[in-house]
Amino acid sequence: MLIAMDAQHQLVNAATADRQIEYYCPGCVQPVRLKRGGSDRATFCPRPCHGL
Ligand SMILES: [Zn+2]
């Protein structure tokens, strides 16, 4: 997923997200973790959810 929600319920793009901050799925409010590995495209774990 490329969009997640922070503790202030702001939607954040993975590309501009901060690794230090906890993010949640906007759909099911499950905690998601920022993943910025070898690829240049940052995403949120675990997997695409709600079409995000
Ligand atoms: Zn979800």
* Residues 33-47: tens digit of each pLDDT: 898 876 678 888 766
Q: Which pLDDT score is estimated for 10?
A: 96
51 falls within a domain:
no
This prediction's pTM: 0.78
Give how many domains the chain has, as a whole number. Answer: 1
Q: What are phi and psi of 5, to 5 degrees?
A: -115, 140
49 falls within a domain:
no
38 falls within a domain:
yes
1 CA distance to ligand 1 middle (Å):
9
Q: Which pLDDT score is estimated for 49?
A: 73
What gap in Å lies between CA 52 and CA 47, rounded to an integer?
9
49 CA distance to ligand 1 middle (Å):
5
16 falls within a domain:
yes
23 falls within a domain:
yes
2 CA distance to ligand 1 middle (Å):
12
Residue 11 has pLDDT above 90, yes or no: yes
Q: Which pLDDT score is estimated for 24?
A: 93
- Quick check: 11 and 5 in contact, CB under 8 A? yes
Phi-psi region of 30 (alpha: psi -120 to 50; beta: other; left: phi over 0): beta
Domain span including residue 35:
3-44
